[in-house]
Structure 1
Amino acid sequence: MEKPDIPRFALESFARVNYKVPFLKVQHYPLDANYFSIENRENYPVVDYISPNRRQFFKIFHMTAGTGVLTVGLHQYTLGPGDIAFLHPDEIMSWQTTSEETGGHFCLIHPKYFERDADHILQSLRMYPYFKASKAVIQLSANQSAMVNQHFKSIVEEEKSTNDDKKQAILLHLQMILLEAQRAGKILADAAVPESYGYIHGFLSLLESSFQVHGQDVSVKLKTAAEFAGQLHVHPNYLNSLVKEHTGKTLREHIQERLMYEAKTLLLQTDWDISNISNGLGFSGHAAFTSFFKKKEHISPSIFRKSVLSQVNS
C-alpha cells in the first residue's frame, strides 16, 4: 500500500489566513478551578490560545466590544459586538483577538455545579442546540445583547454576594441567557479553517484521545511524534515544523506537557498510589515516573500531591 503524498504547501499560507505567528498557546484549565466562575472581559487579560479536549467546563461568552476569531472544532467564526458563543467541553477551540478594545463576559460551568439541586438545568445544557461546533455562535440584536449583558452583570453581583440563595439566582439568570440566544436563533456564518490548522487540530485531538486513562490496571500507550504524524498521513518533520511554528513547542514538548497534566490530574483527583499512577501512564516503573516528574517540576510527585492538597484543605 502506497503512502499518501506529503502535502506541499508553505507554512506561510497558514499565517496569512486570519492568524498571527505563533498564536496557539495551549491552555489547560487549572486543576483546582471552581465549578463555576464568571469574568468581565474588560478586567480579564485576553490572550490568544488554543484549548484542547476535556476542558470539563461548558463555556459561554458574550461580546459587547472588540473583535476576534474563534475556532470551534473545524469551524471558524469572526466575532464582534453582540455575538454570544457556546462551547462544549469536548470541542477543541482557539481564540485570537483582532482588536485592542474588548468588552463583555464569559463564564465557565462544570457539570458538578449542578449536582443535587439543578440536574434538570445540566440536562438542558446538554440538549441545548448551540453547544455544537457548527452552531456555536449566535448574533443577538442590540436589545437582546443589552438584556444578555445585564443578566451577566447580575450573575457577577450574585457570585460576589453572600446571599443564601445566590446559586438559585445565578441559575435563573443563566437560563434567561440561554432563552434570549434561542429566541434570536440567528447563527453566525462560519468558514472552513485553513487546511494547515486541520493538522494541528488533528494532532491535539489524537494526543488527547491517547490519554484516556480507564483504570489502575490499564496502561496508556504513549505514542511517539512519528506515530502521531503517521496517523495524520504526513511526514513527522512537516508536522513538527507546523506545530512548532504556530504553538512555539515541538511535538515532543506537547506530548510531555500533556503527560504532566494527566499525571497531576491523577495525583490530585484520585487516591491512586504512585506506582498505580506510573503504571497507568505507561511508565516502566515507579522510579521512571518519579524521575520524569522531578525533572519537569523539580519536586517529587508525592511531595507535589501533599503540598497542593494541604493548600486546598487549609
Structure 2
Amino acid sequence: MEKLDIPRLELESFAKVNYKVPFLSVQHYPFNASYFTIENRDSYPVADYISPNRRQFYKIFHMTSGTGILTVGLHRYLMCAGDIAFLHPDEIMSWQTTSENTGGHFCLIHPKYFENDADHVLQLLRNYPYFKPAKAVVQLSDEQSGVVNQHFESMLKEERAGSEDKKQALLLHLQMILLEARRAGKNLADVEVPESYGYIHGFLSLLESVFQVGGPENTVKLKTAAEFAAQLHVHPNYLNALVKEHTGKTVREHIQERLIYEAKSLLVQTNWDINHISYGLGFSGQAAFTSFFKKKEHVSPSSFRKSALSQIGI
C-alpha cells in the first residue's frame, strides 16, 4: 500500500481537526454471492457506505439520475447522471449520496464467472484502462448514456429470464458497455479526499493486508490498534476516535468483524477442516476459535458451514 504522508498527531490535536467525512456504514460484500449480479437502482437503492475489504468482484455502475460522491482508493469523484464507474476488485471504495434519489444500474462480476468459456472477456476486464482509481469514472454524452442504459436493461431482462444462452447474451451486452465507455474516453476529474478519509482508508487497507490467507499453513498475524496507529503515524486514541466517529465502530470492532468475515469465507469457500482454519486465523487452537465464533454468531463453526452449504446446494 502507498504510504500516507501524514504527520503524527497527538491527543491535543483532536479539537483542531475539522472532519469532513460523512458517516459511512461498513459493508462487506457477501462471501457467498452469485458470480454475476445485476440490479436496478429503483428496486435496489444505494446507501452511504464504505467497502473495507477486497471484494473479488469487478463492479460497474451507471447513473441515470441523482448525484453522489464516489471514492476509489484515494481518488474522489463527484458523480451525476450519465457517469459510469469501473471498480477493480482490489480497491477499497466508498459512496455518499448527495441527492434525494439516484437512478441507474450496477453489476458485479466475479472472475470465476468467466471460467471455461469466456476467458477472453476476463482478459478484457483485466486490461481495461478504466479499472484504475485515477480513471475510474467516465462521463458519457446523453446519447451514449442512453445506449449504455439500454444494455443494462437488456442484461437485467436476460438475467431474470434464465434462457439457456443467457450467459452469452450477458457477456455481449457487457462488452458493448465497455466499448461505449471506451469510445467516450472522457474521464471525470477527481478531487482531493479529506485528510480524515485518508486515515480511515489507510487503516482499512492495512487491516485488509493482514488477511491474506493463501493456505492452511499461513497464519494471520493480527495487529493491535496501537500497531495500526503506529503504521499510520497517529496516536492510537486519535485513530480509534476517528474510525468510531465515521464508521460507528471502534478499531477493535473492525478487527473482530473482519476476522469473522474471513472465518465465514473459509468455512464456505474451502474444504479446510476447522482445526486448520483455527490456526490459519491465528487462534491457539480449535476450542478458542469455536468459542470466539459462537460468541459472535451464536452458532458453532461446523453448524454454520453445514447450514451455509445447504443453502447454496452443496
Q: TM-score, normalised by structure 1?
A: 0.95
Instruction: Map 1:233-244 to 2 at 5 A.
Output: 233-244=233-244
Alignment partners' CA distance in 1, 2:102 and 2:15? 33
Alignment partners' CA distance in 2, 1:118 and 1:259? 34
Q: What is the Cα deviation at residue 241 of structure 1? A: 0.2
CA displacement, residues 44-100 of structure 1 (integer Å, 9 cap, x when unaligned): 121100012320000000000000000000000000000000000000000000111
Alignment partners' CA distance in 2, 1:86 and 1:249? 28
Instruction: Map 1:1-314 to 2 at 5 A.
Output: 5-6=8-9, 8=13, 10=15, 13-15=18-20, 19-20=21-22, 22=23, 24-313=24-313
Alignment partners' CA distance in 1, 2:184 and 2:196? 34
Alignment partners' CA distance in 2, 1:54 and 1:93? 9
What amino acid is the match of 1:276?
H
Alignment partners' CA distance in 2, 1:12 and 1:101? 31
What amino acid is the match of 1:116?
N
Gaps of 5+ in 2: 1-6
Alignment partners' CA distance in 1, 2:15 and 2:83? 33
Higher relative contact order (CA 8 A, sep 6+): 2
Q: Any runs of at least 4 consecutive aligned residues in structure 1 with deviations exceeding 6 A, and if so which?
A: none
Gaps of 5+ in 1: none
Alignment partners' CA distance in 1, 2:249 and 2:154? 40
Alignment partners' CA distance in 2, 1:217 and 1:189? 44
Alignment partners' CA distance in 2, 1:53 and 1:176? 29
What amino acid is the match of 2:254?
H
Alignment partners' CA distance in 2, 1:51 and 1:168? 30
Q: What is the Cα deviation at residue 311 of structure 1? A: 2.0
Alignment partners' CA distance in 2, 1:246 and 1:111? 32
Alignment RMSD (CA, Å): 1.3
Alignment partners' CA distance in 2, 1:44 and 1:5? 41
What amino acid is the match of 1:164?
E
Alignment partners' CA distance in 2, 1:101 and 1:313? 37
Q: What is the Cα deviation at residue 9 of structure 1? A: 5.9
Q: What is the Cα deviation at residue 12 of structure 1? A: 6.0
Instruction: Give the percent of matched residue pairs that are identical in Structure 1 and Structure 2.
Output: 75
Q: TM-score, normalised by structure 2?
A: 0.95
The answer (yes or no) to whether the contact 1:82–1:141 under 8 Å persists in 2 is: yes
Alignment partners' CA distance in 2, 1:130 and 1:217? 36
Alignment partners' CA distance in 1, 2:69 and 2:210? 28
Moved more, 52-61 or 87-96: 52-61
DSSP-derived class of the 1:313 partner:
coil
What amino acid is the match of 2:305?
R
The answer (yes or no) to whether the contact 1:212–1:220 under 8 Å persists in 2 is: yes
What amino acid is the match of 2:64?
T
Moved more, 45-54 or 249-258: 45-54
What amino acid is the match of 2:184?
A
Alignment partners' CA distance in 2, 1:293 and 1:156? 38
What amino acid is the match of 1:213?
V
What amino acid is the match of 1:13?
N
CA 1:105–1:5 in 2, change beyond 3 Å: closer, same or farther? closer
The answer (yes or no) to whether the contact 1:53–1:89 under 8 Å persists in 2 is: no
